[in-house]
Amino acid sequence: MRSGGQLGRSGGRHGWKREGGSMDCEAGKARRSGARAAGDGGRSAWKGSGGWRGWKGSGGWRGWIGRRGWRRLGWAAAAAALLAAGCSGAAEPQPDPGPAVEPIVLEYWTPFSGGDNIFMTDIVEAFNSEHPDIRVEQINSRLDDYYSRLRTAILAGNAPDLAIVHATNLPQFVQNGYIERLDEPAAAAGLDWSQFNANIVESTLYEQAHYAVPLDTHALVLYANQAHLRRAGLLGDDGKPLLEPGKEGFLRFLERLKASSPPGVAPLALPSTRIDSVWLWWSLYNQMDGGGAFYSADGGKAVFDNPQALEALELVDSLYRKELIPSGINDAFQLFHDGDAALLVTGMWGTGAFEQAPGLELSVVPFPVLYDHAAVWGDTHTLALPAKAGLTPEKRAAALTFAKWAVEHGDLWAKAGHVPSSSQVVASEAYARLKFRSDYAEVANDVAYWPRQVKQWSMIELLIKEWERMIYRQQTPAEALRRAQAAVDAALAK
């Protein structure tokens, strides 16, 4: 029986010989030589029996062989033909595969670090293995300079074929014509926008047009170290924090943690610098009835210097002043990872790392509701097609094929901790099997995105500067709000 061609038979050419290939050929040759030798000695006996006349008289071929003999002769002839084919070494003819088709190569830029980059690389490799006609080549950069590099590449005509763009940055890319509108190519690729989480897909719409394919939402969640909560009597039977409702309940929870925690363990970890305190403020501000406004209706002025925003910022400030968040924390992520913090408020991208931390008994829950309704800061990774003259219809279709596949395989991306953008994926068994993720999947419905403003990222940096000065006791929350709003107004006027 043929298995894998001539070399695949029973261990290749050598195995074929062992199993009766060439060795049987040699034996066959020997048998044929012996037959010839026997024939030389048999001619005399044949002549002595009458030769041709005696042979004919006995019935010729029919009398000599008989019916059974004819059948035996037929089988012998077939076997001899097969043996001859094997001895000749001739391979069976194979169909001509034709010229090799080169895959469509897509240059794909990403700004990921740590676990996010590992999981995205896995997604790219899985896609490439299933799509021999498309090869996605991922080029990863640091987030710090990613957007400046991407803008420069677009303006210089050297843009990638596909790029990650955060929802917060989409306004700049849409209004400057840096990315393509996707309604028609997405429809051609079979993307069904109704299958996406409504809150997530809304963040990618501009004048009801689609400019990017959302992969996820990544919002703030509350991470808890069960060992520290258990010591304080604040761990439920389900392994989750026993949080009391409202702002006062949350403060009491933190005070009990502080009283029971050993020296060097933070009740709540948050860095004293960078953007984390701004995210926390934005979450609390959006939980209040009448809160959440950043700009006036016409977008011409900042309006966040108001009572709701001040109350939210005063709560953030009090957490630092009471040392419920110890001062001087540089890397809150690492602090919690190493078991030196009872609670951590950060993005859900930490789940993939924390669940592998040695000795860490992990719990993850949605960011608590401290005011009137659920709301939390979050953003979305989207796949966008940078505007470029050289993007062929074939490449455009291939890019949307990858985007659709990545969305449909959102459970792979969820391993990093993010909530997939596809409602079907979130409801799937594959997603349910991922520990912790289902505990906070509902957060996708409560994300309060930053307003759609071309300069929004620059505006956030102005807030970071003023919040840091507040945390280091250089100004009050009221002063921080006032100065931040003035700085934003000045930036809007430029």
Per-residue model confidence as pLDDT tens for the chain (494 residues): 433 333 333 333 333 333 333 334 443 444 444 434 444 444 444 344 444 334 444 444 344 344 444 344 344 444 444 444 444 445 566 666 656 679 999 999 999 987 899 999 999 999 999 999 999 999 999 999 999 999 999 999 999 999 999 999 999 999 999 999 999 999 999 999 999 999 999 999 998 999 999 999 999 999 999 999 999 999 999 999 999 999 999 999 999 999 999 999 999 999 998 899 999 999 999 999 999 999 999 999 999 999 999 999 999 999 999 999 999 999 999 999 999 999 999 999 999 999 999 999 999 999 999 999 999 999 999 999 999 987 899 999 999 999 999 999 999 999 999 999 999 999 999 999 999 999 999 999 999 999 999 999 999 999 999 999 999 999 999 999 999 999 999 999 99
Find, among 241, 220, 214, 216, the residue nearest to 230 by Cα. 241
The Cα–Cα gap between 162 and 136 comes to 9
Element (H, E) at 28: helix 22-48
The Cα–Cα gap between 465 and 347 comes to 21
The Cα–Cα gap between 193 and 455 comes to 27
The DSSP secondary-structure symbol of 458 reads H
Residue type, 24: D
Phi and psi dihedrals of 193, rounded to 5? -65, -25
Domain boundaries, the chain: 104-215+380-448, 219-378+455-493
CATH class belonging to 104-215+380-448: alpha beta
Q: For residue 357, what are its two tokens? A: 């931390």
The residue behind tokens 């933070």 is: 266
Question: Domain 219-378+455-493 classified CATH 3.40.50.150?
Answer: no
The answer to whether residues 320 and 477 touch, using CB atoms and an 8 Å cutoff, is: no
The Cα–Cα gap between 77 and 14 comes to 27
Whether 104-215+380-448 shares its CATH topology with 219-378+455-493 is answered yes
Indicate the pTM of the whole model.
0.79
The residue behind tokens 């001899």 is: 80
If one counts every other C-beta atom within 10 angstroms of the C-beta of residue 26, the result is 12
The answer to whether residues 264 and 338 touch, using CB atoms and an 8 Å cutoff, is: no
The answer to whether residues 226 and 363 touch, using CB atoms and an 8 Å cutoff, is: yes
